[in-house]
């Protein structure tokens, strides 16, 4: 079973991924030292599916602290509630927090672990595609403010991550598929071999074939681990992970996070960045068509509908990653190689956005 090492400013940690990774929980946590208690943080939804199985494996899982994992509950009040529960449950400085869930659980539990008693041991057990290939790796934790997403947070790397693809079988179909756009991202930015595999085994992946998952999940984690290991604080290389996210985030903001799942917005962002790269003569037509073909092959995306480029412009210019209103794009040079920090003249951006519905109809991205 693959074990991937991630280096971080607070020391290296390993990600155990692959089938049956979860069964190794006891020996793996044993290696971290003797905790005074293990406190499982999860959500009612995740627990309904997995609570009984986990209670047999994780000490303390028979009295989990459960909190709402909708995006609207990813806020400081939830952190306060959990911290108070931890005090009442007797968690001290040598306690271990085990976060079991998707990205929301991981971000909230991770931030709680960072600030509770000024920091306690954190283990991630991610249960969605997004959480396994993205949010559980790299140490970003945090919560939203009414003014915007992830505005309060901390870098707080875990001591251990256990990513077992078995969890993905209970995910609703739309959630599962949405995570695949993040996997496509890794292929485009860093690994032509992964991209080829996604193309060739698309149907097996979409039906969650265990062998296909056992290939794409660890490979995606490896890429994320390599990137964040080289640039934890996002001063350079880590920006490539933002591929597809510049437009994706703007679409999510413009629709108040109600219309698209995150991965679906990234699906649109991937199409857009591909067209923009062609318009800027960075990417050849052949690779562009392959990227568009793979995104469309994963299924339909919710339509962009009436969102206009005029409404998007201020959102794009005030993106966290923009500098002084200048938008920095991440664009592919070819499949497997990407450049970041690129500026594109606004008229080109606007024209490319107007092309989206036409291209979408051609590739049947939407209904």
| 8 A C-beta contact, residue 266 and residue 335 | no
> In this complex, which beta carbon is closest to ligand NAD, that of residue 101 or of residue 302?
101
Q: Measure CA 173 to chain center.
A: 17
Q: Give the range of 29-37, 100-108, 154-162, 282-290 binding ligand NAD by CB under 6 A.
A: 100-108
Among 127, 296, 338, 352, binds ligand NAD (CB under 6 A): 127
Interacting residues with ligand NAD between 41 and 70 (CB under 6 A): 43, 45-46, 49, 69
Least distance (Å) between residue 42 CB and ligand NAD: 9
Helix (H) or strand (E) holding 290: helix 285-297
Q: Is 101 in the site for ligand NAD (CB under 6 A)?
A: yes
SS3 state of residue 16: strand
Q: Is 262 a catalytic residue?
A: yes
Q: Nearest 5°: phi and psi at 272?
A: -65, -45
Q: Is 326 a catalytic residue?
A: no
> In this complex, which beta carbon is closest to ligand NAD, that of residue 137 or of residue 212?
137
Instruction: Give the interface size with ligand NAD as a residue count (CB under 6 A).
Output: 28
Strands 329-334 and 337-342, how do they pair?
Answer: antiparallel
Site string for ligand NAD, 162-191 (x = CB under 6 A): -----x--xx---x----------------
Least distance (Å) between residue 342 CB and ligand NAD: 22
Among 17, 64, 107, 336, binds ligand NAD (CB under 6 A): 107
Taking CB positions, which residue lies at the least distance from ligand NAD? 103
> Which candidate in 140, 159, 185, 215 is catalytic?
140
Q: Is 150 a catalytic residue?
A: no
Please choose, from the candidates 232, 237, 234, 262, the residue with its C-alpha nearest in 3D space to the C-alpha of residue 247. 262
Q: Is 240 in the site for ligand NAD (CB under 6 A)?
A: no
Q: Give the range of 28-36, 134-142, 186-194, 276-284 binding ligand NAD by CB under 6 A.
A: 134-142
184 token code pair: 């496509």
> Which candidate in 124, 215, 262, 290 is catalytic?
262
Least distance (Å) between residue 71 CB and ligand NAD: 6
Q: Is 51 exposed, middle or buried (0-12, 13-18, 19+ CB in 10 A)?
A: middle
> In this complex, which beta carbon is closest to ligand NAD, that of residue 99 or of residue 120?
99
Q: Give the range of 98-106, 113-121, 267-275, 310-318 binding ligand NAD by CB under 6 A.
A: 98-106
Q: Is 238 a catalytic residue?
A: yes
Least distance (Å) between residue 304 CB and ligand NAD: 20
Q: Is 75 in the site for ligand NAD (CB under 6 A)?
A: no
Q: Is 138 in the site for ligand NAD (CB under 6 A)?
A: yes
Cα 226 to Cα 220: distance, rounded to the nearest angstrom:
10
Does residue 181 come out as left (phi exceeding 0), alpha (psi in the -120 to 50 range) or beta? alpha
What angle (nearest 5°) sits at the alpha carbon of residue 299, between those of residues 297 and 304?
110
Strands (E), the chain: 3-6, 13-17, 37-42, 65-66, 95-101, 121-126, 140-145, 148-155, 160-163, 329-334, 337-342
> Helices then strands (H, E): number in the chain?
14, 11
Bridge partners (DSSP) listed for residue 153: 142
Q: Nearest 5°: phi and psi at 206?
A: -65, -30
Least distance (Å) between residue 39 CB and ligand NAD: 19
What angle (nearest 5°) sits at the alpha carbon of residue 223, between those of residues 217 and 229?
130
Q: Is 242 a catalytic residue?
A: yes
Q: Is 20 exposed, middle or buried (0-12, 13-18, 19+ CB in 10 A)?
A: exposed
> Which candidate in 71, 199, 234, 339 is catalytic?
234
Annotated catalytic residues are 118, 140, 182, 224, 234, 238, 242, 245, 249, 262
Residue numbers at the binding site for ligand NAD (CB under 6 A): 43, 45-46, 49, 69, 71, 74, 101-105, 107, 127-128, 130-131, 134-135, 138, 140, 149-150, 167, 170-171, 175, 262
């Amino acid at each position: 079973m693959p074990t991937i090492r991630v280096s971080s400013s607070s020391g290296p940690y390993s990600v155990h991924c692959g089938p049956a990774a979860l069964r190794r929980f006891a020996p793996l946590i044993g290696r971290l030292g003797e905790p005074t208690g293990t406190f499982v943080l999860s959500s009612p939804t995740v627990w309904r599916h997995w609570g009984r199985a986990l209670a047999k494996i994780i000490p303390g899982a028979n009295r989990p602290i459960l909190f709402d994992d909708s995006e609207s509950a990813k806020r400081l009040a939830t952190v306060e509630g959990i911290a108070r529960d931890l005090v009442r449950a007797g968690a001290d400085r040598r306690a271990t927090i085990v976060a079991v869930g998707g990205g929301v659980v991981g971000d909230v539990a991770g931030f709680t672990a960072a600030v509770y008693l000024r920091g306690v041991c954190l283990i991630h057990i991610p249960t969605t595609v997004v959480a396994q290939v993205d949010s559980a790796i790299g140490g970003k934790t945090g919560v939203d403010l009414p003014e915007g997403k992830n505005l309060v947070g901390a870098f707080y790397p875990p001591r251990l991550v256990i990513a077992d693809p078995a969890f993905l079988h209970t995910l609703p179909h739309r959630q599962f598929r949405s995570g695949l756009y993040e996997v496509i991202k890794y292929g485009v930015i860093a690994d032509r071999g992964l991209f080829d595999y996604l193309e060739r085994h698309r149907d097996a992946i979409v039906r969650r074939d265990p062998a296909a998952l056992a290939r794409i999940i660890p490979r995606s984690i490896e890429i994320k681990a390599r990137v964040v290991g080289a640039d934890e604080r996002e001063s350079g290389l880590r920006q490539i992970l933002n591929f597809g996210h510049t437009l994706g985030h703007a679409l999510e903001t413009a629709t108040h996070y109600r219309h698209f799942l995150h991965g679906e917005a990234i699906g649109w962002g991937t199409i857009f960045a591909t067209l923009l790269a062609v318009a800027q003569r960075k990417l050849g037509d052949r690779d562009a068509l392959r990227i568009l073909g793979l995104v469309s092959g994963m299924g339909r995306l919710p339509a962009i509908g009436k969102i206009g480029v005029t409404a998007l412009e201020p959102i794009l210019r005030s993106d966290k990653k923009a500098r002084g209103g200048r938008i920095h794009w991440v664009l592919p040079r070819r499949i497997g190689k990407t450049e970041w920090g690129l500026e594109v003249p606004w008229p080109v951006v606007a024209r490319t956005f107007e092309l989206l519905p036409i291209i979408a109809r051609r590739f049947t991205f939407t209904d």
